[in-house]
Amino acid sequence: MKNKVVLITGGAAGIGKATAIRFCEGGARVVLCDLNAEAGEALARSLGPEARFMRVDVTDRRAVQTMVDEVAATYERVDVLVNNAGVTRDAQLVKVQDGQLVKQMAEADFDLVLSINLKGVFNCTQAVVPYMVKQNGGVVLNASSVVGLYGNFGQTNYVASKAGVIGMTKVWARELGKSHIRVNAVAPGFTATEMVSKMPEKVLEGMRARTPLGRLGEPRDIANAYFFLASEEASFITGAVLCVDGGIVIGT
């Protein structure tokens, strides 16, 4: 991965942060993007001169294009795009008590999650791919989730977005293969990001109990999967969805 130019969205924390660290360790030049400028800039400084932070909202097509154009002008190429940015806004589709509707998922929450998790992946990939086509190769890696494969209670919006990411991954693998661009998705299970680690211990125990390996994933586990899929060791893998879930799918 030495001197490869790697663009990571949602790179300031959690899986994105671990991914930025992993690629830097492998010798890549990393551009991490996020809305959290304070955390992103601090991470870039800690990673050294081969890392750079750029603040961008992946739902803003113009801002994404400007960012990608600047990266390409600076480094003269983009070798790997990791579409990691994402959010959750969980709620049941409808909640009924005694035959009466008492609550439902807000339309604004549905739109927000789809805008970031799905449209953001579309925006970033569409901006980066022309540069990859011009250089006759590249790798696009998309963040999905095991819930995008199997569903999850209370996550209509999140599941829809992650299932959509899998669908786009397979389409792009077909469309872009002739340009030597590989497109794959990673589907994490329960992962001990900063957000998850703050959950009540009872909830965490339940997550571990449902996972055959008996533990939560670490962000580094997911980062290692991204690194492998970006490497030449995965040169014949495209259109795949790699589950990094400790066996939770077979466990449930």
Q: Which residue has tokens 């011009």?
A: 134
Amino acid letter, residue 171: V
- 117 touches 159 (CB < 8 A): no
Chain centre to alpha carbon of residue 195: 15
Chain centre to alpha carbon of residue 121: 8
Active-site residue identified among 75, 131, 150, 158: 158
For residue 239, which of 186, 182, 161 has the smallest C-alpha distance? 182
For residue 157, which of 243, 77, 88 has the smallest C-alpha distance? 88
* Residue 158: active-site member: yes
CA distance 134 to 116: 27
- 146 touches 102 (CB < 8 A): no
Helix (H, G, I), strand (E, B) or coil at 224: helix
Q: Which residue has tokens 């022309």?
A: 130
Q: Would you please indicate which residues are annotated as catalytic (active-site) residues?
A: 158
